[in-house]
Each structure stands twice: as C-alpha cells, then as structure tokens.
Amino acid sequence: MYKSIPAFCLGLLLMQAAQADDLLGIKAMLGDTARSPVPGGWTVGGVAYTGSSVYKDGPNTTLPIPGGIYIGKDFMYLGDRAFYTFARQGSMQLYGRLRLRLGNLDPADTSKWDGMEKRKGQLEAGLGFGLVSDVGLWTARFSSDVSGRSKGTELLFNWSAPLVHENWMVMPGLGAMWRQDKLANYYFGGVSAAEAAPGRPAYSVGHAWSLVPSMVASYRINPQWLIGGILSADVFSDRIKNSPLVQQRARYDILLGVGYVWR
C-alpha cells in the first residue's frame, strides 16, 4: 500500500493527519529543554511501521523507515508534510500546511483491481487553527489538493489531552475527519462507471466522515536519545465502509521508533 514511503525518508515520529497538527500546540506547551519529550531542532533515526489498507483486497504494509524530523519555533517538517505558524495570540495560533499524500491503490498489486485507475499521490495545501486550553489541545484545519489529482478537500476537527512529565508524554486524542466527495471517491472507495466490473459495481462515496482515535507516546531517555510510539485508526462512516472496494469499518497504523536528537 505504501511502497514509496522509504523514498520520502519519513521521520522518527511520522504523524498521521490529526496527530501532526497537535505537535504545534505541544511544542508551545513544553518549550525546548534537554529533557523535553518533544525536542526542538533535528531528530534523526527510524521507525518500525505496520499499517492496514483502506481496501479489503489491499495488502497490509510492514517495513522499517529511516529519516528525520525538524521542529522549530515557527516551522515544522515531518517527512511528508510541513507546517508554518504565521500568527499567535495568547494560547491560539494560525498555521499553514503542505502535505504530500501518497497514492493508495495500484492495480498491479492484485488482479482484483484489474480495470481500476491507479490512485496516485497529490500535493495538498491548507490552513489551520490551534488552541491550547485547560482541557486539552483543540485543532481545526482544512486542506485541499493543489496538484489537480483528486481536486478534493478535507476538514479536520481534533481534540487531544497530553499527559506530560519532565521527560515523557502520553497523548490520547480523538478527531473527526470530513472528506469532500472528490477526495473520498479518489482515495476511499469510489468506483467510476468505467471501472465497474462483475462483483464491482459503480459506486459514489459522496461526502464522508471518519473518526480518528489515536495514542501518541514519547520518552526522552537522555539529552541525545528518545523513543516513541503511535497507535491510530481511521474508523469509516457507512459511505466509505459500504464501497465494494472497502467493505470494512476501519484501518490502523502502528509505529515504534528511536531517534537521536541532533544538537
């Protein structure tokens, strides 16, 4: 499913959509000390990744991923996406976002996809709003395809509750993702009339919601080294689940990693 991941050298704590946006608020809360579980600057290392496909016939993916991330005061780079905070007011911040979404369906992977159009990657751009409150971090953002691939838009509303000690952090979270019909049809189960085949009727996903629960953990072993992990899921609404390509309620991602803090 994600055969091209290593080519992008994703970093130690490659985040899924909701968790990545929350790093901005976490960094604002923690600052940058020699014991911070979310260190500033460059962190290089690797993760062991396993994840399931959106599609019932798609292969699960398990692989090691080398790479690095950068977290600065205003700029953040996470391998396949980058953020820039351009305005702050108290506990609120506004930011811009670029992301390279990878393709997720290749007819060469299975004969069951014969006649399907390959779902290629796309470049997305968007804006977001973050708020640090007494009851957690709140994020709202939109992003749209700017490469002309799906021509679709995605909205995220997310809450997370970081539990932070001197050198460790555990952060449960829950998000709601709304995908406009063009994006949902391209990446989450749409079947055009030209792609229809016996056992695979034409299907329009339409606008679709998903719930995105997650758990992120990070432990700073010493000023130079840290370990971390991510567990996240994408729980589909019926519009996605009922696609003849999908036929499942959810998919998941699990990452375990180690990184060296480059000072």
- What range defines the domain where residue 176 resides? 5-262
* Domain count along the chain: 1
Per-residue pLDDT of the chain (263 residues; tens, 9 = 90+): 433 333 333 333 444 445 566 666 666 555 667 888 888 889 999 889 999 999 999 999 999 988 888 988 889 998 889 999 999 998 899 999 999 999 999 999 999 999 999 999 999 999 999 998 889 899 999 999 999 999 999 999 999 998 888 899 999 999 999 999 999 999 999 999 999 999 999 999 999 999 999 999 999 999 999 999 999 999 999 999 999 999 999 999 999 999 999 87
pLDDT for the residue 17: 44
Between CA 257 and CA 141 the distance in angstroms is 27
Domain CATH number, residue 216: 2.40.160
pLDDT for the residue 164: 86
Contact present, 50 and 59 (Cβ < 8 Å): no
Contact present, 91 and 36 (Cβ < 8 Å): no
pLDDT for the residue 119: 98
